[in-house]
Structure 1
Amino acid sequence: MKVAVLGSSGAMGRFFASYFVARGDEVVGYDLSPPDHPVKGLTLARSTKEAAERADIVLVAVPMPKTLAVVRRVSRHLRKGSTLIEISSVKGNSLRPLRLAVSLTGARLLSIHPLFGPAARRVGMKFCVIGGRSDIASARRLFPRSVLIPMSQQGHDRAMAYVLSLVQLTNLAFLSTIAKGMGLEQFGRAASPIASAQLSVARATLSQDPSLFSSIQTLNPYARETLSSMVGELTRLQGLLAKNDSKGLQRSYEGTSKRQSRSELQGSLRAVYSLV
């Protein structure tokens, strides 16, 4: 099978190029920026046309704000029966024009979202798949040893407002508060195992491209809603603390704790201690 990766010099582009090369596919890549260290086994094209023509699969791994423009540009070169894969972290209102651009050529769109970064292992990958059974079947053929989660476009973006947007903002605020307070170095020296694990998670969250972080926040229409909910919870807890309401704080703690099973709580604690 011939696979074209557009954006093959980027982190996720390199990941998928390596993945398909390892599968034994013929992989062609194109990127406006030449790679510092080309993926072994990847053939570099001189244009999107050269990369995409005769390809069975065209995977677009470019910054989210540029995805639609790239798809429209490459769509005229897609062969009938081929599949174009887009991997945006936020689907927003882009799927309809993406599907239209691809369908006009007789190709089909597969919209997925890899729930991992470029440092992930190639086994046990997790993807959201936007669509129905045929989309799941297509994704299964390409990523047979992966966890596939079917979602609607709206359901996906609502979920990512919590899974990505809220997690990123929470960890950004966590690190910023510590840095402006006691300092990250001193915090690290004094940290308990749970605090140390949280510090590592927060730092890992900030290891991503700042432009990707910004796009995940601004392009997701549900990000503000989830952040407002989080601010509301913090404000409620702040009110209890301001009144020195020990019983109220305890009830809040117990109420949230009871929403988890005992095995989930203990399993999470063991996982934290295994990290430090």
Structure 2
Amino acid sequence: MNEIDRLRAEINQIDEELFKLFFRRLELASQIGRLKRTQGLPLTDEAREEEVRNRWRKLAAHYGIPETLADNLLNTIFSVSKMRELNPSEKRRVVLVGYGGMSRSLASLFKLAKHEVVITGRNLEKSEKLAKEFNLAYMPISQALQWGEIIILALPLEGILSYETSRFLYLAKGKIVMDILSSKASSFSRLEKTSEEIGFRFVSTHPLFGPYLNPVGEKIVLIRSSTSGDMEEISEFWRGVGLTVLTTDVETHEKLMAVIQVLPHFFMLGLSSSLDALSKELAVDYTQFQTTNFKEIFKIINRVRDLDRVVKEIQSSNPYARLARKVGLGELNTLYSTLEKEKK
């Protein structure tokens, strides 16, 4: 055996030891998950995660390992550990109405938690395609709504308010119905009234994450309606799939979203077009000369671009959007004036 082969053999042995240690770490995470559940603790402990992250960074510096490598490894370990901690107390029959990005994200989450899941919608071929991706079932919407216990309307605003949706909601009588819209101003009162007329339990939700797979450890907002009933049951359902539950009312939710969605999206849309306009004006290509911070900003810009329809919908439907944009422009003008004065 030459020296290269000997070193590679040693690497193979180390790799096996690493996987044994990873497995042991995941087993410990599963035990912690069971204890959290019995004690009613949330899946994500942000203070503990920050403590571990800081310790890893110190260890990385001590051993001369790049901090980015330590951070990337730890992000993956946190995610997988949370998946291992999932253990819902009760398996539910969940119907996802819709087959877009957020439906795909929720399907991955419910599959991970081993709930029974059916995908449905107006286009049965699209329902089938998403269902097959996760080895789930699909049905026509009328059949699915009769089968399910929990109905999640993973639809855009126009879909929620459409005649097609309202025509089938009578089949949800006695069941739990939830929407996942980012803005509730145009939909909440209508769905609440429909729930009173038909007799289903309506809880409005807002997942505080984007359309990516297995969003374990993320947060979801719950908004009670007049027909919600036992909110602890709903909270337990979402905690059981690994999400941290927050609760609020409609008005507060819309104000919060004006701050954390409307304003940042407005600036990102403006920054996106400004980058293109300025680079054209200066006749330069900035794509090869990006700083570390700019690359992170540009990733966010691209995510906002990819969600253009949803972003524009929030800008038009949030009742505090105009105020958010006005305040944002006012602060930009103040900053511009301040910088111009300092220049002189």
TM-score bin, normalised by smaller chain: 0.7 to 0.9
Are residues 1:18 and 2:112 paired?
A: no
- 1:75 pairs with 2:169: yes
Query: How far apart, in 2, do the equivalents of 1:117 and 1:241 lie?
Result: 35
Is the aligned partner of 1:56 residue 2:155?
A: no
* Aligned partner of residue 133 in structure 2, secondary structure: coil
Partner of 2:138: 44
| Shift in alpha-carbon separation, 1:131–1:66, aligned structure 2, 3 A | same
Task: Return 231-240 or 120-129, whichever deviates more.
Answer: 120-129
Tell me the CA shift for residue 19 of structure 1. Answer: 2.3
1:6 aligned to 76, 97, 109, which one? 97
Distance 2:255 2:334 in 1: 24
| Distance in 1 separating the partners of 2:135 and 2:107 | 9
Matches within 5 A, 1:100-115: 100-115=193-208
* Within-5 A mapping of 1:59-208: 59-69=152-162, 71-80=165-174, 82-131=175-224, 134-135=230-231, 137-144=233-240, 145-182=242-279, 186-208=285-307
Which residue in 2 is equivalent to 1:242?
340
Deviations 1:123-174 (A, max 9, x none): 1021111139943541332333322121110111111112111111111111
- Asked if 2 retains the 8 angstrom alpha-carbon contact of 1:3 and 1:28, the reply is yes
Provide the secondary structure at the position in 2 that maps to 1:170: helix
Q: Which moved more, 1:179-188 or 1:62-71?
A: 179-188
Q: Percent identity?
A: 23
TM-superposed deviation, 1:86: 0.8
Amino acid corresponding to residue 184 of structure 2 in structure 1: K
Aligned residues, how many?
A: 242
Q: Quick one: which amino acid aligns to residue 302 of structure 2?
A: R
Kept in 2, the 8 Å contact 1:71–1:98? The answer is: no
Q: Counterparts of 1:232 and 1:41 in 2: how far apart (Å)?
A: 51
2:331 is equivalent to residue 233 of structure 1: yes
1: distance between equivalents of 2:148 and 2:255?
A: 33
Aligned partners of 2:341, 2:232: CA distance in 1, in Å? 52
Match in the other structure for 2:75 = none
Relative to the length of structure 1, the TM-score reads 0.79
Q: Which runs of 5+ in 2 are unaligned?
A: 1-91
| Residue 320 of structure 2 is aligned to residue 222 of structure 1 | yes
Structure with the greater alpha carbon radius of gyration: 2
**8 Å Cα contact 1:136-1:148 kept in structure 2:** no
Q: Is the 8 A contact 2:109 2:214 kept in 1?
A: no
Deviates more, 1:64-73 or 1:129-138: 129-138
Larger helix fraction of residues: 2
Question: Whole-Å Cα distance in 1 between the matches of residues 155 and 245 of structure 2?
Answer: 22
- Residue type at the aligned position of 1:207: D
Change (3 A) 1:185 1:113: farther
Equivalent pair of 2:153/2:178 in contact (CA under 8 Å): yes
Q: Residue 257 of structure 1 corresponds to which residue in structure 2?
A: none
Change (3 A) 1:94 1:231: same
Q: 1:96 deviation in Å?
A: 1.9
TM-score, normalised with respect to structure 2: 0.64
Residue ranges of structure 1 left out of the alignment (5+ in a row): 247-276
RMSD between aligned alpha carbons? 2.4
- For 1:198 and 1:103, locate their aligned partners in 2 and report how far apart those are by CA, in whole Å: 45
